[in-house]
Amino acid sequence: MLNKNYSLFLLISAIIGISFWIGFNVNLLPQEASINAPIYDELFKILFIIGLILFIGMSLIIIYSLFKFRRTNGQTGDGIYLEGNLKLEIIWTVIPSIIVLIVGLYSYDIYDRMGGMKELNNHEMMHSDSEKIWAGISESSNELSGIENLNIEVSAMQFAFLFNYPKGEFISGELHVPVNEKISMKMESKDVIHAFWVPEFRIKQDIIPGQPTILNFTPTKVGKYPIICAELCGPYHGGMRASIIVEEPSDYENWFNQNKKTKV
């Protein structure tokens, strides 16, 4: 009996060990290109490991049961009738409840660290005091200090994104931003609900008609990344894409100066 318990303990430890190894060594996500990305990926790793433990454990139980409890030659009838097992039921209620509670609290902490719990209605891009920001991601808690926000206004419509640079008084179909600088976007929709999503930044925010939303982020890697509309918004929703180009500050400055309206 002791021997059986010992091998079960070894097997469970092995499953947990393998799951942790895969969780830390296999990366299913795109590259991390904003300061929010590593925070988000922490949570993903934990959920991935929990998923792996359950997947490997359940697969092994199913395979084991297929052989152990298969019908043997000469066996007839419907099998044994079983009803209830209080000990087992308590175990499979209590353990998942604890896991869900921990994951819930941890998710709250991650969302808070990404800026999701911060005050939105004191935003510098608001045009008047009566204007209300309905939702969004505010500044991340590990923000870079001493740098002024780069403010951009985003308009979404079927089926495109437009980026207005108020300081340069121009509108672009491509979002250009300098690397390692705080970007603050105020977003509004002209028609239906859209969503601004950049997988490499691990951020997504709905864009709602009549209810402005805010999205703050800091890109950390130079490159070109896709902006994808992540809310089914009509027949050409799948084609509603744009690009975000993260550049060295000097390249961004050149692009900005080429596009800005020169004051006469």
Q: Which residues bind Cu ion (CB under 5 A)?
A: 194, 229, 233, 240
Residue in 264, 256, 263, 262 with CA at minimum distance from that of residue 171: 256
* Nearest distance, CB of residue 200 and Cu ion, angstroms: 19
- Whole-number minimum distance, CB 240 to Cu ion, in Å? 4
**Token duo for residue 227:** 């902006």
- If the CB atoms of residues 24 and 134 are measured against Cu ion, the closer one turns out to be 134
User: Closest by alpha carbon to 116, among 127, 129, 107, 124?
Assistant: 107
Q: Which of 113, 100, 96, 117 is nearest to 42 (CA)?
A: 113
Q: 30, 21, 79: which is closest to 52 by C-alpha? A: 21
Instruction: CB nearer to Cu ion: give 198 or 240.
Output: 240
Nearer to Cu ion, 37 or 175 (CB): 175
Tokens found for residue 247: 């550049």
What amino acid occupies position 38? P
Among residues 47, 44, 56, which one has the least CA distance to residue 17? 56
Q: Least CB distance from residue 188 to Cu ion, whole Å?
A: 13
Q: Residue 179 CB, nearest distance to Cu ion (Å)?
A: 27
Nearest residue (CB) to Cu ion, 35 versus 240: 240
Q: Which is nearer to Cu ion, 138 or 189 (CB)?
A: 189
Provide, rounded to whole angstroms, the least separation between the CB of residue 86 and Cu ion: 51
The residues with which 183 forms a beta bridge, in sequence order, are: 150, 217
Instruction: Note whether 51 and 18 are within 8 A (CB).
Output: no
Helix (H) or strand (E) holding 47: helix 36-68
